[in-house]
Amino acid sequence: MIWHAICLGLLFQLILVFGSNYPKNVNIWPMPESVELGNKTLFISKDFNLKTDASKYKDHSGILKDGFTRLLDVITSNNVIEYNFGKVDQSVLLQGIHVVILSEGDELQYGVDESYKLNIYPKGNPIYAHIEAATIYGALHALQTFSQLCHFNLNTRKLVRACGMYLGGQYRSFKICLLLPTLVGCKTYTSRHYQSLPMIKKVIDSMAYAKLIINLSRWRYLHSQDCGMVLIQSQNAIQWLLQLKFYAQRRGINVLAELDVPGHARSWGIGYPALWPSKTCQEPLDVSNDFTFKLINGVLSDFSKIFKYRFVHLGGDEVDTSCWNLTPRIRNWMKQKGLNESTAYEYFVLKAQKIALSHGYEVINWEETFNHFGNELDRKTVVHNWLGGGVAEQVVKAGLRCIVSNQDKWYLDHLNTDWQTFYMNEPLENITKPEQQKLVIGGEVCAWAEHIDVSDIEQTIWPRAAAAAERLWTVPDKLAKDPNDVTSRISNFRCLLNQRGVAAAPLNLSGRGAPTGPGSCYLQ
Ligand SMILES: *[C@@H]1O[C@H](CO)[C@@H](O)[C@H](O)[C@H]1NC(C)=O
Ligand SMILES: *[C@@H]1O[C@H](CO)[C@@H](O)[C@H](O)[C@H]1NC(C)=O
Ligand SMILES: *[C@@H]1O[C@H](CO)[C@@H](O)[C@H](O)[C@H]1NC(C)=O
Ligand SMILES: *[C@@H]1O[C@H](CO)[C@@H](O)[C@H](O)[C@H]1NC(C)=O
Ligand SMILES: *[C@@H]1O[C@H](CO)[C@@H](O)[C@H](O)[C@H]1NC(C)=O
């Protein structure tokens, strides 16, 4: 009761007036394209509701309705108590949100318009916040922004602390966090660890909070250290994938499948030993065997029924071709074809690309393929950088598209890389020509499964992936030049994740650190 009284006593109308620059005390992460703050605090009505009249989108599959329910869940479980509100002016009750979506469809494809406009002003009777978005997915992001403006007070009413106008742009296409779950259905887990379905779902939820994984999220299948082929053969696994895809899609997150060939595919041979060069020399996949490509064709054909995303990832990284020369059968085949190890690698990758293209996909390949035979790659290839900085510059000069994931700055399993480094990694560094800038379609932070399992996946991803989320979401001129300028805002976001049950690690240390001692969440 005492708390109740104190907080009521402290509640007071909040007066915040800002110009077009980002107001320092608006704790939204990642920062929308523009924010214009009003000067009132609104109280959320007990029967806060969703209105959709005038919306073209009819929500037949309930994506918006579910998004709104999730919004209510997060704002009502929010247990942060704000002290500095002053007197309560409960006359300013916010009755709900009016969402207008301008297009009917709900296809989540590369290039989907995810921008939104969110207006929260104390106008009308009853008062509604207004969201306008081109697609349902923009509207979902607007709901995330709204949720971050909500606070709880002990008078049981939630309040929206900052009314105003929020415009969510969408600067870069590709904003990804990468997960590599070992697949359900495996009996033995080797060096890649199993991620449970509930945990993966939880990670998807947290990705939506950070609007990070807007365009897609990615799983890699059939990795050598997984028991990949089980997946393809088992109806259960397909059900599992469909379920995940469905779950992610309803949160505006796409799933990109990776079929990494010819390296990292040793496990394929557990089911099909003919894919190994020999029993003793098991990777890369046998380049000389037609069956290898038949199988790739079969898998991609299956993929194309499940994953409708424009791209498929064909890997192509870390290929040690020595088994090909060490296996007489393959050595002879290469000789007949006039190939050596290096040109056989090229032959393999290009052949796999053709198969993927024939299934309607555009292809993503790791940068090794570009480094070896960039000119030969299909022009629709997106080159995925990882080895280091400066690669995007080369790729776009060659006229190909690029995704940036330089491991020195954006690999989450590098535990001593701090969030400031994640924040400052600019994919367009040294790329100044607008037509070349356009070819950098975005970036990806990677969390490799050999270093994470259910026990530490969330701490490994958060909060550092959030730092990259702002880099990818926000237009460059609006990003802080000095990451320390946004410490308090990202710290707020980390605490918000914690409040929502996400085990985001303290900011203070690099990956997975524990709090250093007692003290507020905001100081860790
Ligand atoms: C608050 O904002 C409204 C509308 O933007 C404006 O008319 C009013 O003068 C502002 N009040 C204060 C106290 O700044
Ligand atoms: C998704 O990708 C498309 C294609 O580049 C891009 O136009 C769009 O802005 C992206 N959406 C977001 C939110 O990045
Ligand atoms: C492989 O063959 C190509 C083309 O004939 C040649 O340029 C390259 O140097 C060869 N590589 C090796 C490692 O022998
Ligand atoms: C950009 O150019 C500067 C100056 O040449 C260089 O020091 C830096 O390493 C480059 N950055 C990248 C990511 O290549
Ligand atoms: C980090 O820890 C140090 C002491 O260990 C403390 O002084 C500081 O306030 C903490 N928080 C941040 C965000 O640096």
Per-residue tens of pLDDT for the chain, all 524 residues = 222 222 222 222 222 233 334 556 678 898 888 888 777 778 888 789 999 999 999 999 999 999 999 998 888 765 555 544 555 566 678 899 999 999 999 998 888 888 899 999 888 899 999 999 999 999 999 999 999 888 766 554 555 655 566 666 555 545 554 444 433 333 333 335 556 778 878 888 888 887 764 433 344 443 333 333 434 445 566 677 788 888 888 998 877 788 889 998 887 887 788 999 999 999 999 999 999 999 999 889 888 888 888 899 999 999 999 999 999 999 999 999 999 999 999 999 999 999 999 999 999 999 999 999 999 999 999 999 999 999 999 999 999 999 999 999 999 889 999 999 999 999 999 999 999 999 998 888 888 777 778 888 899 989 999 999 888 888 788 899 999 999 999 999 999 999 899 999 999 877 787 888 888 888 88
Q: Which atom of ligand 4 is nearest to the CA of 390?
A: 14
| The predicted structure's pLDDT at residue 99 | 98
Q: What are phi and psi of 453, to 5 degrees?
A: -140, -165
Q: Where in the chain is the domain with CATH 3.20.20.80?
A: 174-499
| The predicted structure's pLDDT at residue 514 | 83
Name residue, tokens 């037949």: 60
Q: Which atom of ligand 4 is nearest to the CA of 430?
A: 1
Could you say which of 3.30.470.30, 3.20.20.80, 3.40.50.720, 3.30.750.24 is the CATH number of the domain covering 174-499? Answer: 3.20.20.80
Sign of CA dihedral 290, 292, 296, 298: positive
Q: Where in the chain is the domain with CATH 3.30.379.10?
A: 2-168
End-to-end CA distance of the chain: 30
Strand-pairing partners, residue 44, are 94
Catalytic residue among 318, 426, 444, 470: 318
Q: Is 394 in the pocket of ligand 5 (CB under 6 A)?
A: no
Q: Which atom of ligand 3 is nearest to the CA of 340?
A: 1
Distance CA 1, CA 155 (A): 10
Distance CA 173, CA 429 (A): 17
Gap from CA of 352 to ligand 5 centroid (Å): 50
18, 126, 251, 349 from 49: Cα distances, Å: 29, 11, 20, 53
Q: Is 207 in the pocket of ligand 5 (CB under 6 A)?
A: no
How many CB atoms are closer than 10 A to CB 302? 16
**Whole-structure pTM value:** 0.85
Which residue lies with its CA nearest to atom 7 of ligand 5? 523
283 in active site: no
Q: Is 523 in the pocket of ligand 5 (CB under 6 A)?
A: yes
Gap from CA of 389 to ligand 4 centroid (Å): 8
| The predicted structure's pLDDT at residue 111 | 80
**Ligand closest to CA 441:** 2
Q: Give ∠ CA 167-254-396 in degrees, rounded to 5.
A: 80
Mutate to test the pocket of ligand 1, among 14, 20, 39, 89 (most ligand atoms within 8 A of CB): 39
Q: Is 430 in the pocket of ligand 4 (CB under 6 A)?
A: yes
Which residue lies with its CA nearest to atom 8 of ligand 1? 39
Q: Is 17 in the pocket of ligand 1 (CB under 6 A)?
A: yes
| The predicted structure's pLDDT at residue 195 | 65
**CATH architecture for the domain at 2-168:** 2-Layer Sandwich (3.30)
* H helices present in 176-289, as ranges: 197-209, 229-233, 235-249, 268-271
For the record, the structure tokens of 101 come out as 């979506």
Q: Tell me, what amino acid is at 333? A: W
Count of positions (residues) in the chain: 524
